[in-house]
A and B are shown apart, each in its own frame.
Chain A
Amino acid sequence: MMLVLLLAVPLVGAGGLAVARGAWLGRLHGLVATLTLTASLAVTVTVYRARDVTALDGFLRADALSAWMVALIGLVAVLAALEAPRYVTTAVAPRFYALFHLFVFTMLLAVTTDDVGFMWVAIEGTTLASVFLVNFERTRASLEASYKYLLICSVGIAVAFLGTVLVYFANVQLFGDEEYALRWTTLLRLAPGLAPQVVQLAFVFLVVGYGTKAGVAPMHTWLPDAHSEAPAPVSALMSGVLLAVGVYAILRFKPVVDLAAGPAFTSRILLGLGLLSMAVAALFLWAPTNFKRMLAYSSVEHVGIACVGLGFGGPWGIAGALLHIANHALAKSTLFLLAGRIRAAYGSADITAVRGLLHPLPRTGGAFLAAMVALMGLPPFGLFTSEVLIFGAGFAKGAIVEAALGLVLLLVAFGGLLRSTQAMLYGVPTGPAPAAASGAWPVAPVTLALLLLILTGVAWPPGLGDALEQLAAIVGP
Chain B
Amino acid sequence: MTAATSLLSFAGLVVTLAIVWRQSWPGRLRLFAFQSLLLAVLAATLGVLAGRPRLVLLGLVFLVIKVVVIPRVLYRIGSGMPVRPVAPGKSSGITLLVAGVLIVVAYAVMLPLRTVTALPTAGAIPLAFAMALIGLFLCVTGRDALGHILGFLVFENGIFGLALLATYGLPGIVEAGVFLDVLIIVLIMEGVVGQVRREHESIDEPKLRELRG
Contacts and interface: CB of A to CB of B under 8 A. Distances in A.
A contacts B directly in the complex (CB < 8 Å)? yes
Interface of A: 115, 117-118, 120-121, 124-125, 128, 131-132, 135, 138, 140-141, 143-148, 150-151, 154-155, 158-159, 161-162, 165-166, 168-170, 172-173, 177, 179, 181-182, 195, 197-198, 201, 224-225, 228-229, 284, 289, 293
Contacts of A151: 139, 148-149, 152, 189
Nearest to A59: B173
Nearest to B184: A128
B88 interface: no
B170 A128 contact: no
A293 B213 contact: yes
B189 A118 contact: no
Given A150-B189, A195-B112, A140 B170 contact: no
Given A173-B117, A198-B113, 15 more contacts: A115-B173, A128-B181, A131-B188, A131-B192, A140-B200, A143-B199, A150-B185, A151-B189, A162-B162, A165-B170, A166-B166, A197-B112, A197-B115, A198-B112, A284-B213
A225 B211 contact: yes
Interface residues of B, number: 44
Interface in B87-117: 109, 112-113, 115-117
A158 B136 CA distance: 10
Given A117-B177, A162-B162, A154 B113 contact: no
Contacts of B178: 120-121, 161
Contact of B159 (A143, A161, A177, A225): A161
Given A145-B211, A151-B152, A173-B116, A118 B162 contact: no
B208 interface: yes
Given A140-B199, A141-B210, A147 B109 contact: no
Given A170-B116, A173-B116, A115 B192 contact: no
A146 B171 CA distance: 32
A135 B170 contact: no
A117 B170 CA distance: 9
A128 B188 contact: yes
A158 B174 contact: no
B136 A143 contact: no
Contacts of B170: 117, 165, 168, 182
A147 B152 contact: no
A169 B117 contact: yes
Contact of A144 (B149, B180, B185, B196): B196
B21 interface: no
Contacts of A165: 159, 162-163, 166-167, 170
A195 B148 CA distance: 35
Given A121-B181, A155-B152, A229 B117 contact: no
